[in-house]
């Protein structure tokens, strides 16, 4: 299968990292992402690295996947030999992690716990398709040590779910939240998508009302991205469905922010709302702040102290590498200080904690003045409540206004002239 991964630099066969990268990693929060690259069927809009049984064609067995992934966790332990800190967050994503037996997810989590240890209060999340779980499955997850579930609800309109090729009814996602809460999960997220062709503003309002009715402590609302090469992109190109419209997306974002805020869910990243600081997704925060994460699984990306790498994409190629005792890394890159600064601007400006002004260069600081004058951001001077770091307190932080959040990409272009 042709790989669409970037080429990058050659990654060492044993996965070795420079000592300085491992040393830096020791001073920052540590997360593990475990990718599960299987789905029962493919949704027309999705271009994640995931495979249905037909697409796999017998390669990269689902039954042996957990054992293979455990092999990469053990390799991570060898590579990070000097690193002495427990794991703060673990996130199982997909694909559909919950297509595997709960015992398999438990086995992968146990490997992370055995090799590295989990920090007290560690966050352990799995994504779950609403139709892929039942009360017994959710109880087994809780028993295995999961603390958070993230359901892909997407919409409460059956017509929208049909256009998205979703396999569940609108009601199933709500029922799944109730089951997770009854099982004892304190933290439950719902993923929603807005801007599906044919979705009206009232449809979207209905989706938000439904989601809020089951009181999740976190909601992610994503504007539909029409990814090249997907079935959805082909249907739009053939004229079967209309293209998404920027004004419609903006109206729907504003409505989401109003309705979620009114129910006590506050934005902390442009597409993410949480009921409290404790309800934020700490794993995603770790990505947004350039901390340390090891991505286990085919196509997974990792970052340790300025070295970023990405694994081979196909589950068979992934298993072959690990079975041969080799790193599954396809290639890697070393981030120089300027690249790391640019990435901080790109990611931190999207956070409600804001972007420390000192991260901007001279041209960026000049651009920030017009961003402020145009009402796209304000300056906050107090340190963010959720972070140990107070580096930004002295110089202030740039925090987007609601209009700035709608134009976040344009703001970033201004700040990085």
Ligand X SMILES: C[S@@+](CC[C@H](N)C(=O)[O-])C[C@H]1O[C@@H](n2cnc3c(N)ncnc32)[C@H](O)[C@@H]1O
Q: Which residues bind ligand SF4 (CB under 6 A)?
A: 39, 42-43, 46, 48, 50, 94-96, 129, 152
Q: Is 391 helix (H, G, I), strand (E, B) or coil?
A: coil
CB 316 within 8 A of CB 60: yes
CB of 198 to ligand X, least distance (A): 15
Please, which residue, 46 or 342, has the CB nearer to ligand SF4? 46
Which residues does 193 contact at the CB level (< 8 Å), separation at least 6? 45, 154, 155, 164, 221, 222, 223, 224
- The item of ligand X, ligand SF4, none sharing an interface with residue 225, based on CB under 5 to 8 Å by kind, is ligand X
Binding status of residue 36 toward ligand X by CB under 6 A: no
Binding status of residue 45 toward ligand X by CB under 6 A: yes
CB 115 within 8 A of CB 78: no
Please, which residue, 96 or 292, has the CB nearer to ligand SF4? 96
Please, which residue, 321 or 350, has the CB nearer to ligand X? 350
CB 100 within 8 A of CB 297: no
* DSSP label at residue 351: B
Within residues 157-216, the interface with ligand X by CB under 6 A covers 191, 193
CB of 227 to ligand SF4, least distance (A): 10
CB of 42 to ligand SF4, least distance (A): 5
Per-residue string for binding with ligand X, 81-120, x by CB under 6 A? ------------xx-x------------------------
Helix 337-348 / helix 408-415 crossing angle, nearest 10 deg: 150
Binding status of residue 127 toward ligand X by CB under 6 A: yes
Cα–Cα distance, 72 to 296 (Å, whole number): 6
Please, which residue, 152 or 328, has the CB nearer to ligand X? 152
Cα–Cα distance, 273 to 258 (Å, whole number): 11
- The item of ligand SF4, ligand X, none sharing an interface with residue 93, based on CB under 5 to 8 Å by kind, is ligand X
**In the block, residue with structure tokens 């037909």:** 54
Phi-psi region of 3 (alpha: psi -120 to 50; beta: other; left: phi over 0): beta
CB atoms within 10 A of CB 21: 17
Structure tokens belonging to residue 351: 């956070």
CB 77 within 8 A of CB 116: yes
CB of 222 to ligand X, least distance (A): 4
- The item of ligand X, ligand SF4, none sharing an interface with residue 42, based on CB under 5 to 8 Å by kind, is ligand SF4
The residue ranges that bind ligand X (CB under 6 A) are 45-46, 48, 93-94, 96, 127, 129, 152, 154, 191, 193, 222, 224-225, 227
């Amino acid at each position: 299968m042709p790989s669409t991964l970037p080429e990058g630099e050659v990654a060492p066969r044993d996965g070795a990292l420079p000592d300085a990268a491992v040393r830096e990693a020791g001073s920052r929060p540590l997360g593990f992402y475990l990718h599960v690259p299987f789905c029962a069927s493919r949704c027309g809009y999705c271009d994640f690295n995931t495979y249905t049984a037909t697409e796999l064609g017998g390669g990269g067995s689902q039954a042996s996947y957990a054992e293979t992934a455990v092999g990469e966790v053990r390799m991570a332990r060898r590579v990070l030999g000097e690193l002495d800190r427990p794991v703060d967050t673990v996130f199982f994503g997909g694909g559909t992690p919950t297509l595997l037996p709960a015992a398999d997810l438990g086995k992968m989590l146990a490997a992370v716990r055995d090799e590295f240890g989990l920090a007290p209060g560690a966050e352990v999340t799995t994504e779950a398709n609403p139709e892929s779980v039942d009360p017994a499955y959710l109880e087994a997850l809780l028993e295995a040590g999961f603390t958070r579930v993230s359901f892909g609800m997407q919409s409460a309109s059956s017509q929208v779910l049909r256009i998205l090729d979703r396999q569940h009814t609108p009601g199933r996602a709500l029922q799944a939240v109730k089951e997770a809460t009854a099982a004892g999960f304190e933290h439950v997220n719902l993923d929603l998508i807005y801007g599906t062709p044919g979705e009206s503003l009232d449809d979207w309002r209905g989706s938000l009302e439904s989601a809020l009715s089951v009181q999740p402590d976190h909601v992610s609302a994503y504007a539909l991205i029409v990814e090249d090469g997907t079935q959805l992109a082909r249907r739009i190109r053939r004229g079967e469905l209309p293209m998404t419209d920027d004004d419609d997306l903006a109206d729907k974002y504003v409505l989401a922010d109003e309705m979620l805020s009114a129910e006590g869910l506050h934005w902390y990243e442009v597409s993410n709302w949480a009921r409290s600081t404790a309800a934020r997704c700490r794993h995603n925060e770790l990505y947004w702040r350039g901390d340390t994460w090891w991505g286990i699984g085919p196509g997974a990306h990792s970052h340790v102290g300025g070295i970023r790498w990405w694994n081979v994409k196909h589950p068979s190629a992934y298993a072959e590498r690990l079975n041969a005792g080799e790193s599954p890394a396809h290639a890697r890159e070393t981030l120089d200080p300027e690249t790391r600064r640019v990435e901080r601007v790109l990611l931190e400006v999207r956070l409600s904690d804001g972007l420390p002004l000192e991260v901007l260069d001279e041209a960026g600081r000049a651009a920030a003045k017009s961003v402020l004058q145009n009402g796209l951001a304000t300056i906050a001077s107090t340190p963010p409540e959720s972070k140990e770091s107070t580096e930004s307190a002295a110089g202030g932080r740039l925090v987007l206004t609601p209009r700035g959040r709608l134009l976040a990409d344009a703001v970033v272009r201004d700040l990085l002239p």
